Amino acid sequence: MLRQVLSFLLYLYGSLVDLFTVCEEAGKLSAGEINRLEFPSQYFGSWYFIAAAAAGPGDPSLEAFTSMDNTRFRIQEDLQPNRLLLTARIRANNGSCMPREWIYLVTEGSTDLQTKGRTDRITELFSCTCPDCIILQETDLKVKRLLLYSRSPQLPEACVEDFKKAASCSRLKEILLLPQTQEYCEFQGNEDVQTSS
C-alpha cells in the first residue's frame, strides 16, 4: 500500500514537473544554436519575414506590419567595421514597394544588435527549431516583439507553431502572419532608399 501511495505521489510530481517545464524546456527562447564563432557572417544574405508576435491587441508593437503583404530583407557588411547594413523591400497591401534600410551596430563578444539612431532599441537573436530560420526579439521603450525570419519564403507549419509556442511562453500571444499573397519586391534598381528608425 505504502509503495502504491509513493508511486502515485511520484507520478503526480512527475506530471506537475512536466506541466511547468513546457515553457522552461521546449518552448523557451534559446540562443543555444546561434553560432558565435561565425557571427555575424552566417546571417548575411536574404531573409523573408514570416511572422511577428506581441503582447496583445492594442499593443503598438505590430502596428508597423499590418499594412505589409510581404517583406524581404538583405543583410550585409557595412563599409564601416562593426556595422551591418540591413535593407528591406516591403510590399504594402496596396501593392507599392517600399525600400527601407537600417544600420545594426555589433558589439564584440555579443550577438545582441543595436540600431543606429535608436539607442533605446535592442535586438536579440534566438534559435529557431528549424535550420533555416531565426527569431529576433526587438525591445525598446514602446515595443516588445518577436520576429520570425526564414531563408525561404515558406517555412514548414511546425516551425511556425514552435514560434507561436515560444512567443506564448514569453507572454506574447498576439501573432501576425505576413499574408504573402503578392510578388516579392526586387532589390535591384535605383530605388530611393529611405532610412527608417
Ligand X SMILES: *[C@@H]1O[C@H](CO)[C@@H](O)[C@H](O)[C@H]1NC(C)=O
> Where does this chain bind ligand X (CB under 6 A)?
67, 92, 94, 96
Closest approach, Cβ 185 to ligand X, in A, equals 12
> Shortest gap between Cβ of 134 and ligand X (angstroms)?
25
Angle value at C-alpha 41, between 34 and 105, nearest 5 degrees: 90
Cα torsion angle, 186, 191, 192, 193, sign: positive
- Alpha-carbon distance of 34 to 136, in angstroms, equals 12
**Is the CB of 97 or the CB of 130 nearer to ligand X?**
97
Nearer to ligand X by C-beta: 67 or 197?
Answer: 67
What is the grid cell recorded at 9? 505521489
- Residue number, 76 or 96, with CB nearest to ligand X: 96
Q: How far is the CB of 194 from ligand X (least distance, A)?
A: 10
CB-wise, 34 or 92, nearer to ligand X? 92
Tell the smallest beta-carbon distance from residue 57 to ligand X (Å): 20
Q: Which helix (H) or strand (E) holds 194?
A: strand 194-195
Q: Give the nearer residue to ligand X in terms of CB position, either 17 or 193.
A: 193
What would the grid cell of residue 156 be?
A: 514548414
CA distance 19 to 41: 38
Q: In the numeric block, which cell numbers belong to residue 118? A: 535608436
Q: How far is the CB of 98 from ligand X (least distance, A)?
A: 6
CB–CB of 97/191 below 8 Å?
yes
**Residue whose grid cell is 508593437:** 61
